[in-house]
């Protein structure tokens, strides 16, 4: 075997070892979180990310994003929002092992559990109208809860998700999701065919739309151009089905509120068909309103705005314009 072949084998072996170690660490952390319970594990997760998050490059990304989204905001408030975003991220991660128990909404006794739901009538209409439907959301509070709500109360829904890069960790996360949620579809090549099949069977698709998508359509988001995956608008045009937004709000006392919007009145072209860029802009406006209402509960660490893809003109000294795709 050539030297190059040996190097490749060693590299693959090293990657497998890293993946195995990462999966083992995650399982150990999740086991510890289950042992101490959802409240203490969420508090611990928040403590760790509040203190460790600022050490990572993503912290600079978050600060820059908030400053550009709210150009007149005092710096003290900018930093408060980013601290809150780290707090929320830590809680969300620590709540993963408890997803099956955190969601305790009972329609017979609303307001008595950890979770409350607004828009139950819209949920019932989605479930009972015999039509396909589309539900969009974003990375707010614990963004996994809407898929659990749909599964618990009989809405045939498939959640489209992005799997973690580490295969071992992805398996653990999938185990938890599959135990608490309905249909699951990983965002991958060919996923569009599976998503189309869900709607053809009269099912419902749920998808997060608040992250950068290189081949997307340009929308105005928080006053700046951003690229957004247009697939939900394309499906809405093809199936002419209702489109709802859903968000999660983290409340005091370790509680949550799920809010399902009425169906959106999406813009249409001269033929009466849904206009794809206009529809994505309408959905993005809803998400923007959510961000402005609870900015500390959104995932600011993601590079949502990529000027080199949208043609946005920024100051030449802005390092963001020079970062390659995928940089933190």
In this predicted model, what pLDDT tens digit does every residue of 301-314 receive, in sequence order? Answer: 999 999 887 777 65
Strand 204-208 versus strand 183-186 pairing type: unpaired
Strand 243-251 versus strand 133-137 pairing type: parallel
Q: Provide the mean pLDDT of the chain.
A: 84
Task: Kindly tell me if the per-residue pLDDT of 3 is higher than 60.
Answer: no
Which pLDDT band, with edges at 50, 70 and 90, does 315 fall under? Answer: low
Nearest to residue 205, comparing CAs of 241, 172, 170, 250?
241
Task: Kindly tell me if the per-residue pLDDT of 328 is higher than 50.
Answer: no
Highest mean pLDDT among 29-38, 117-126, 249-258: 249-258
pLDDT of residue 113: 84
Element (H, E) at 217: strand 217-221
Domains and CATH numbers, the chain: 3-96 (no CATH), 101-310 (3.40.1130)
Q: Is the pTM of this model over 0.95?
A: no
pLDDT of residue 41: 93
Cβ atoms of 269 and 275 within 8 Å: the answer is yes
Average pLDDT for residues 315-328, to the nearest whole number?
A: 41
Q: What is the percent of the chain with per-residue pLDDT over 70, rounded to a whole number?
A: 79
Task: Kindly tell me if the per-residue pLDDT of 69 is higher than 90.
Answer: yes
Chain centroid to CA 228 = 13
Task: Kindly tell me if the per-residue pLDDT of 87 is higher than 80.
Answer: yes
């Amino acid at each position: 075997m050539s030297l190059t072949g040996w190097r490749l084998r060693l590299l693959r072996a090293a990657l497998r070892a890293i993946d195995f170690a990462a999966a083992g660490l995650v399982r150990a952390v999740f086991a510890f979180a289950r042992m101490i319970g959802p409240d203490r594990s969420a508090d611990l997760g928040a403590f760790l990310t509040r203190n460790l998050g600022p050490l990572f490059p993503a912290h600079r990304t978050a600060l820059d994003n908030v400053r550009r989204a709210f150009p007149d905001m005092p710096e003290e408030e900018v930093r408060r929002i980013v601290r809150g975003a780290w707090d929320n991220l830590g809680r969300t991660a620590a709540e993963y092992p408890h997803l099956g128990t955190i969601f305790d909404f009972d329609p017979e006794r609303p307001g008595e559990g950890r979770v409350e739901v607004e828009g139950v009538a819209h949920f019932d209409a989605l479930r009972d109208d015999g039509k396909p439907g589309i539900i969009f959301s974003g990375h707010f509070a614990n963004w996994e809860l809407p898929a659990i709500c749909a599964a618990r109360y009989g809405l045939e829904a498939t959640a489209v998700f992005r799997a973690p890069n580490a295969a071992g960790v992805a398996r653990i996360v999938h185990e938890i999701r599959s135990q608490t949620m309905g249909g699951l579809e990983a965002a991958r090549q060919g996923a569009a065919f599976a998503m189309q099949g869900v709607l053809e069977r009269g099912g419902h698709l749920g998808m997060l739309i608040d992250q950068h998508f290189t081949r997307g359509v340009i929308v105005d988001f928080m006053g700046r151009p951003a690229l957004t995956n247009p697939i939900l608008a394309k499906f809405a045009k093809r199936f002419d089905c209702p489109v709802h937004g859903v968000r999660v709000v983290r409340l005091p006392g370790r509680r949550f509120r799920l809010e399902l919007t009425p169906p959106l009145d999406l813009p249409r072209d001269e033929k009466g068909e849904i206009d794809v860029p206009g529809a994505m802009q309408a959905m993005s406006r809803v998400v923007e309103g959510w961000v402005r209402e609870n900015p500390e509960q959104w995932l600011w660490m993601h590079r949502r705005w990529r000027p080199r893809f949208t043609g946005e003109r920024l100051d030449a000294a802005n390092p963001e314009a020079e970062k390659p795709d995928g940089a933190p």
